[in-house]
């Protein structure tokens, strides 16, 4: 099972401000129609795996953005998930390794991993295969970091890099295993 | 006076490990002869401006790497600098703004700014014009960060990006003013 991260960060490494705000992501970008390959990526995954914080942030948007794509919420505290019309939700718990094994047994082939804490813990446990990172040309100074502590250096292999007119640099890495 | 940063960071944003070690910078890179444009950049600057920590780290290398290029050490605590054979050294003190003004008055046209603390304080005070950042494909988890707190978002303009065979992505930003 392939585990892929597709995420945007500020040049100083944040995925959101401390309060979860991502206003700086769009800025005064005039290229709103540009999805930086997200649509193709999203279509290529069987399911989206996110932590509780990310799930709650998504709920706060008001509109469910993932259609009927399978969305798996990893939480060791939630007992159940709210009903969301047309959403295809599943709750899962356990360590990153346990979650990985459960999902692989359920037949998933490619997972889109989202959320700072979950990405950090999956990376630390060697369970991430790919990182597609869009670097936004701004320094926000503080916020929720994409990366955290690791037990040992994690080497990556650069597969591709693209830059867009709006100054976003998208890098595609595979994790060396 | 143009203030330029030319620096390498891990993908997770560190310029060195906590103890200043930069072993991860080279790794098992087989392209040692590749300087990623550093030579041309270095030749284009009038002087290198660095903080005390960076200066002391450079001294620990044993061999002075900057030839007779003017090297200005910013420190509010040092009273004088050691004698280094053939080196062209100057000590300076003051706030980033004061240092900038002094150097501009001394006739400098382009300064290469180095060192985490100094880069952070110059960025915070709006005194950096260009950032050339080489992103090394490794996560080291902890260390001395390139970026720090800012008083407000700092927007950048992407000028160029290059990727190298060894997986390094070099991005060239101008600071929007």
Residue B12's nearest CA partner among B143, B113, B119 is B143
Chain B contact for A172 (CB, 8 A cutoff):
no
State residue A28's pLDDT score. 54
A118: phi then psi, degrees, rounded to nearest 5: -65, -40
Distances from the Cα of A97 to the Cα of A80, A102, A103, B108, angstroms:
21, 9, 10, 56
Q: How far apart are CA B57 and CA B51, in angstroms?
A: 10
pLDDT digits (tens, 9 = 90+) for A4-25: 999 999 999 999 999 888 888 8
Closest residue of A to B153, CA-based? A140
Complex ipTM over 0.85: yes
pLDDT at B26: 73
Contact B158 A155 (CB under 8 A): no
CA distance B172 to B6: 9
Contact flag A173-B11 (C-beta cutoff 8 Å): yes
Q: What is the mean pLDDT of residues A46-71?
A: 94
Subunit contact B156:A139, Cβ cutoff 8 A: yes
Task: Domain A2-175: state its class.
Answer: alpha beta
Q: In chain A, which among 7-26 make CB contacts under 8 A with chain B?
A: 11-13, 24
DSSP β-bridge partners for residue B15: none
Q: Which residue has the tokens 């509010």?
A: B76
Place of tokens 């290198």: B48
CA distance B75 to B88: 17
Using the Cβ of A154 and the Cβ atoms of chain B, whether some distance falls under 8 Å is answered with yes
Task: Please check the confidence at residue A36 and state whether its pLDDT lies above 60.
Answer: yes
B158 → closest Cβ in A153, A157, A169: A169
Reading chain B (177 residues) residue by residue, the pLDDT tens digits are: 999 999 999 999 999 999 888 888 875 555 555 788 999 999 999 999 999 999 999 999 889 999 999 999 999 999 999 999 889 999 999 999 999 999 999 999 999 999 999 999 999 999 999 999 999 999 999 999 999 999 999 999 999 999 988 999 999 999 987
Residue A35 confidence (pLDDT)? 82
Q: For B26, name the nearest residue in chain A, comparing CA atoms only.
A: A155
Residue A66 CB: number of other CB atoms within 10 A?
Answer: 18
Q: How far A120 CA sits from the closest chain B CA (Å)?
A: 10
- Per-residue confidence at A29, pLDDT binned at 50, 70, 90? low
Beta bridge partners of A7: A133
Chain A 111-130, residues with CB within 8 Å of chain B CB atoms: 123
Query: How many CB atoms within 10 Å of residue B17?
Result: 17
Q: Is beta strand B70-74 parallel, antiparallel or unpaired with respect to B88-92?
A: parallel
What would the CATH number be for the domain defined by B2-26+34-175?
3.40.430.10
pTM of the entire predicted model:
0.94
pLDDT at B61: 85
Domain locations in chain A as residue ranges: 2-175
Region A109-136 average pLDDT:
97
């Amino acid at each position: 099972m392939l585990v892929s991260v597709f995420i945007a960060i500020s040049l100083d490494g944040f995925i959101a401000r401390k309060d979860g705000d991502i206003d700086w992501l769009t800025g005064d970008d005039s290229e709103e129609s540009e999805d930086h390959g997200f649509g193709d990526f999203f279509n290529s995954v069987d399911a989206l795996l996110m932590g509780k914080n990310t799930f709650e942030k998504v709920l706060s948007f008001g509109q469910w953005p993932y259609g009927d794509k399978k969305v798996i919420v990893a939480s060791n505290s939630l007992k159940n998930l709210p009903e969301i019309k047309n959403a295809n939700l599943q709750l899962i718990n356990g360590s990153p390794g346990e979650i990985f094994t459960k999902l692989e047994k359920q037949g998933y082939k490619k997972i889109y991993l989202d959320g700072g804490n979950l990405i950090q813990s999956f990376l630390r446990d060697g369970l991430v295969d790919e990182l597609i990172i869009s670097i936004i040309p701004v320094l926000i100074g503080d916020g929720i970091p994409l990366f955290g502590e690791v037990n040992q250096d994690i080497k990556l292999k650069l597969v591709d890099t693209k830059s867009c007119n709006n100054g976003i640099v998208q890098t595609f890495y595979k994790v060396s295993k």
